[in-house]
Amino acid sequence: MDYIKELNPDAVILLQTLYNPMYVAKALRNAYQEGANRLNAVIRKYAEDNPGTYTVVEVGAAFGDDESLITIDYIHPNSKGHVVIATQVLKTLKALGIGENTEPVYTEKKISTLYDKAIYAFRRVMNVLFFLIK
C-alpha cells in the first residue's frame, strides 16, 4: 500500500473481502469460512487503523450463502458472481463520489444459463454423495 501511495498519493485503492466458495463438503465449507472470516477481519481492521489507505468492498457479505454464484471449480465466481462483485465495486465507487452508476452492464447468454443450471444440479448430487460417504 505504501509503495502504491508513493507512486500516486491520490490513488484510490479498493480491497475486496473474501467470499466462501466451498460447497463440496460441509467440513471444507466450515474451514473455508473460518479462513475467510479471519482474513476479512484483518482487511477491515487494517482499514480502520490506517484511514485513507484503502477502501473495503464488501464482496463476502454480498455473496452470502449463494452457491449459484460460484463456478464448478468451487473457487471462482461465475458470470452472476462477477455481476455481484461489479455491483459492490460500483456502489463503493459511488459512495466515494467517483462514479454515479451502480448497475453493471451484463448480458446473460442462454447457453451459459443452461450450463450453470446443469452444473448446479450435478453439484447438489455430489454434495449428497460426499455427505453419505462421510
Contact 47, 119 (CB under 8 A): no
Give the predicted TM-score (pTM) of the model.
0.75
Q: Pick the closest to residue 85 from 56, 112, 63, 54 (CA basis).
A: 63
The residues pairing with 16 across neighbouring beta strands, listed in sequence order, are: 57
Of the candidates 131, 122, 42, the residue with the CA atom closest to the CA atom of residue 74: 122
Region of 118 please: left (phi>0), alpha (psi -120 to 50) or beta. Answer: alpha
Average pLDDT, integer, range 95-102:
86
More confident residue, 76 or 102: 76
**95 burial level (CB within 10 Å; 0-12, 13-18, 19+):** exposed
pLDDT in tens, 40-78: 999 999 999 999 899 999 999 999 889 888 887 778 898
Please state, in angstroms and rounded to a whole number, the distance separating the CA atoms of residues 121 and 114: 11
